[in-house]
A and B are shown apart, each in its own frame.
Chain A
């Protein structure tokens, strides 16, 4: 295989998961971890970068415990972190429905859903903690949906056979984040958390092998400053925007993680991205982002395309027998409710064959005619009214009269910085939580489990595990003029000076858009050796061109959104290359990663457990990245081929 793209390194030594029966591991770890005496916590400083579910919950909880916390986000308010956009819901093994759910079942479903590429210990802990999350959020006043009896309502989500998803209309992420945000603001008022909004982390400071601080830029004044601490937590979200078009917010980026990676932190499974099947298709070149239509729509909508290629009749004029309900045809058992990766690829297949509808043939119909007939328009309106309105605002089409057009879009990144069971990266003192780490979802994330993971990490896991590290602190104070600090600052200054001084002629966005196209084409829903190899070449030359031709207006000492974007795109370019290398080296198909070379006869993903049952943890190398493998073992859930036929 193309080893010229990377080098093999030592296997990952230790992921720190305690041994023993799986249900006791988290308990055991909590007990064996050292604690910090309350009087000492006040002397310990922790930096938390990010105020999403993972960051705000961690910062608030650490503040409540009495640590001195410095918290950062690039938005103008911590409440605007991208977690706010999550729609569907959050899973928890409460078994309030008495429908056979349990911690073990949630654990089992999540390991299977991740296509056997996640760690059993982590996933089990996630399932255990899930119940506490709901308790915590309710206590904070999160207005979850309720039934007439006053108890919490649940729905089934993402093809699960039990109803374990808690939700707050179509705005679950918003309500959970506001709960965490309010807890965080309470700590700000109490003086335990120093919150810095409109600040962007641009570099990690490592002193004597330990993460000891960050370099940040004040996005309003341009001032570059250093924050030093005893530990650093990155909760900086996902990097789906490497594809330019995704369901992520415009500001989502990889910079914090990538800077840490360049300083030695491993980046795990970068190629695992989730493509969500129900998004509003692109409408033109001006498009800046894609909008997700909640997965719940598939509960009542039927997906189809015209049987005839290039059929551009009004959908209502296409008779039943000229329609191909391809999901129902191919997956009779699950039908329209197959998992995201499967529904997405199926849409791509029919569009590639020429059956797609709408501009560029990149869309399939999601039709509610049958549901409206069966339930009545009123009922459909009550259930999905706000989603229908949103669709109409964006497309100008009325989905009650004309089926929605949908197409898959990049949604979530399962990869991220490598962490051990304690959520510590391989750099001591650098912890990573939420979507920014790689940990719990394997090669594919089930619906409603990212919110669960972010809050589990932030409220319950990190505050427990970080104390074991901080028990050795406070560490020796780092002077501002320490050479590592000075060097990190200089790196930031130099990069900014370069951007502003470069005599270029191409906008940052034009590079981002081009990178996105390469990634989507070759490292999107279907990947091939040939395509990935080509993509690596294309990205390298694009990167080259970027550094020669990028044009950034304005100066540093002001709000300069172009300068912000330039730094982010520079990092995306490097990440994109690593994603392609990772995708190329993993010649099996698993979860969201579909290698055309590895499929069953009827076109389904084919895993290769013998060769690829490992986490690919990449170390940064000047010439080529170094691959460290962490072997995965399955004692409780035996790997099987996923089938939704």
Chain B
């Protein structure tokens, strides 16, 4: 099939960027969206042009590296699907497709479609862990955990840290990402001792990185490839309220 692409091109963080049009022909239905871009890049290199930079690694929906806003939607039109798992059969011959980077103040563009998501790591550094230095652990069966809790914790822990939630949020908020981690650790008995300090630290780091607040619009959850739900933001709010009252 034949497609008209408009892609955000920006040589580096400082430079001005703009949408640039490309025509591309003979795209296979079976190709993934990123493979379609590979084909375009091969051509651009042949023509001596700078290929389009984009982040990607696993190409199977788990590493969280890929990050394209396709026609205004983070990770494109298919629900619960990362950009790398999106396939061209979801598009039609002759389609016009806009491709942009994640947009958020906390995720500055590095080049073209590549953004800097290190703010997520800083949020985790501020408390998104359980302090269990190597070698200090009791037997794994020392504390049984109800299956429902373990399953719910898993569902929250399935977050791949892609940042689509931030890209989709009208406030550039990282609450879904942060909520997923707070919910995961808060559901485990091992996570209890640090529960209060964790949430206060993470929220401070979140705000510090320049993410906005949540107004519960739910765009994040709709864009999340791992279907993390708004309940994690509720859990985050609740933990925060308790911790803040205790700290006051």
**A–B contact via C-beta, under 8 angstroms:** yes
Residue ranges of A at the interface with B (Cβ–Cβ < 8 Å)? 57, 60-61, 64, 75-80, 82, 84-85, 94, 96, 132, 134-141, 143-152, 168-169, 171, 174-175, 178, 181-183, 185-186, 188-189, 195, 197, 220, 249-251, 283-284, 286-289, 291-292, 390, 393-396, 459-460, 463, 507, 509-510, 551, 553-554, 558-559, 561-562
8 new A-B contacts at CB < 8 Å, known A138-B140, A185-B125, A286-B30: A140-B190, A151-B144, A169-B158, A181-B124, A284-B30, A286-B36, A289-B59, A289-B60
Q: Within 8 Å CB of A510, what residues of B? A: 42
CA distance A152 to B140 in the complex (A): 8
CA distance A417 to B185 in the complex (A): 37
Q: Within 8 Å CB of A82, what residues of B? A: 57-58, 63
Q: Within 8 Å CB of B161, what residues of A? A: 77, 79-80
A172 to chain B, nearest CB (A): 11
State whether A249 and B63 are in contact (beta carbons under 8 Å apart), knowing that A185-B129, A393-B81 are contacts in the complex. yes
Q: Within 8 Å CB of A460, what residues of B? A: 134-135
Query: Does B130 touch A at the CB level, under 8 Å?
Result: yes
Q: In the complex the two chains form, is A559's CB within 8 Å of B147's CB? A: no
Choose among B31, B65, B86, B147 the residue that contacts A150 (Cβ–Cβ < 8 A).
B147
Q: In the complex the two chains form, is B147's CB within 8 Å of A169's CB? A: no
Choose among B12, B28, B57 the residue that contacts A284 (Cβ–Cβ < 8 A).
B28
Q: Within 8 Å CB of B46, what residues of A? A: 507
Q: In the complex the two chains form, is A76's CB within 8 Å of B117's CB? A: yes
Query: Does B96 touch A at the CB level, under 8 Å?
Result: no
Q: In the complex the two chains form, is B38's CB within 8 Å of A286's CB? A: yes
- Chain B residues touching A, majority SS: loop
State whether A75 and B57 are in contact (beta carbons under 8 Å apart), knowing that A139-B132, A558-B12 are contacts in the complex. yes
CA distance A60 to B49 in the complex (A): 42
Stretch at the interface among B1-9, B108-116, B212-220, B232-240: B108-116
Q: Within 8 Å CB of A459, what residues of B? A: 134-135
Query: Which of A60, A61, A139, A181 is packed against the most chain B CB atoms within 10 Å?
Result: A139
Choose among B28, B116, B190 the residue that contacts A138 (Cβ–Cβ < 8 A).
B190
B60 to chain A, nearest CB (A): 5
CA distance A286 to B50 in the complex (A): 20
CA distance A139 to B145 in the complex (A): 12
Query: Does B211 touch A at the CB level, under 8 Å?
Result: no
Choose among B51, B151, B157 the residue that contacts A175 (Cβ–Cβ < 8 A).
B157
Q: Within 8 Å CB of A394, what residues of B? A: 32, 85, 87
Question: What is the interface size of chain B, counting residues whose CB is below 8 A from a CB of the partner?
Answer: 82
Q: In the complex the two chains form, is B53's CB within 8 Å of A147's CB? A: no
B110 to chain A, nearest CB (A): 6
Q: Within 8 Å CB of A150, what residues of B? A: 144-147, 150
Query: Does B246 touch A at the CB level, under 8 Å?
Result: no
CA distance A135 to B32 in the complex (A): 40
CA distance A195 to B31 in the complex (A): 35
Residue ranges of B at the interface with A (Cβ–Cβ < 8 Å)? 11-12, 28-32, 34-36, 38-39, 42, 44-46, 48-51, 53, 55-65, 78, 81, 85-87, 89, 110-111, 114, 116-118, 120-121, 124-126, 128-141, 143-147, 150-151, 153-154, 157-158, 160-161, 184-185, 187-188, 190-191
State whether A143 and B121 are in contact (beta carbons under 8 Å apart), knowing that A138-B140, A286-B35, A507-B45 are contacts in the complex. no
A358 to chain B, nearest CB (A): 11
Q: Within 8 Å CB of B134, what residues of A? A: 57, 60-61, 64, 136, 183, 459-460, 463
In the complex, which residue of chain B has the Cβ closest to the Cβ of A507? Answer: B45
Q: Within 8 Å CB of B124, what residues of A? A: 181-182, 185
CA distance A77 to B126 in the complex (A): 16
State whether A80 and B121 are in contact (beta carbons under 8 Å apart), knowing that A286-B28, A394-B85 are contacts in the complex. no
CA distance A60 to B129 in the complex (A): 12
Q: In the complex the two chains form, is B110's CB within 8 Å of A559's CB? A: yes
Choose among B35, B45, B81 the residue that contacts A288 (Cβ–Cβ < 8 A).
B35
In the complex, which residue of chain B has the Cβ closest to the Cβ of A558? Answer: B12
B121 to chain A, nearest CB (A): 6
State whether A148 and B53 are in contact (beta carbons under 8 Å apart), knowing that A283-B28, A559-B12 are contacts in the complex. no
CA distance A171 to B85 in the complex (A): 16
- 10 closest A-B pairs (Cβ-Cβ)? A150-B144, A182-B129, A139-B137, A139-B132, A283-B30, A135-B137, A143-B154, A189-B125, A143-B153, A138-B140
Q: In the complex the two chains form, is B128's CB within 8 Å of A185's CB? A: yes
Choose among B44, B85, B136, B147 the residue that contacts A139 (Cβ–Cβ < 8 A).
B136
Q: In the complex the two chains form, is A64's CB within 8 Å of B133's CB? A: yes
Choose among B38, B89, B131 the residue that contacts A509 (Cβ–Cβ < 8 A).
B38
Q: In the complex the two chains form, is B57's CB within 8 Å of A80's CB? A: yes
State whether A141 and B118 are in contact (beta carbons under 8 Å apart), knowing that A96-B141, A558-B12 are contacts in the complex. no
Q: Within 8 Å CB of B139, what residues of A? A: 135
In the complex, which residue of chain B has the Cβ closest to the Cβ of A221? Answer: B12
Choose among B51, B151, B158 the residue that contacts A553 (Cβ–Cβ < 8 A).
B51
In the complex, which residue of chain B has the Cβ closest to the Cβ of A392? Answer: B87
Q: Within 8 Å CB of A147, what residues of B? A: 147
State whether A138 and B63 are in contact (beta carbons under 8 Å apart), knowing that A146-B150, A150-B147, A288-B34 are contacts in the complex. no
CA distance A149 to B30 in the complex (A): 45
Q: In the complex the two chains form, is A509's CB within 8 Å of B42's CB? A: yes
Choose among A94, A151, A152, A287 the residue that contacts B35 (Cβ–Cβ < 8 A).
A287
Choose among A182, A220, A289 the residue that contacts B130 (Cβ–Cβ < 8 A).
A182
Choose among B38, B137, B141, B187 the residue that contacts A136 (Cβ–Cβ < 8 A).
B137
CA distance A188 to B145 in the complex (A): 29
Choose among A151, A291, A507 the residue that contacts B60 (Cβ–Cβ < 8 A).
A291
Query: Which of B49, B120, B141 is packed against the most chain A CB atoms within 10 Å?
Result: B141
A60 to chain B, nearest CB (A): 7
CA distance A171 to B191 in the complex (A): 21
Q: In the complex the two chains form, is A396's CB within 8 Å of B125's CB? A: no
Q: In the complex the two chains form, is B120's CB within 8 Å of A507's CB? A: no
A436 to chain B, nearest CB (A): 17
CA distance A31 to B49 in the complex (A): 60
Q: Within 8 Å CB of B60, what residues of A? A: 85, 289, 291-292, 390
CA distance A192 to B15 in the complex (A): 35
Query: Which of B36, B157, B158, B187 is packed against the most chain A CB atoms within 10 Å?
Result: B157
CA distance A287 to B85 in the complex (A): 13
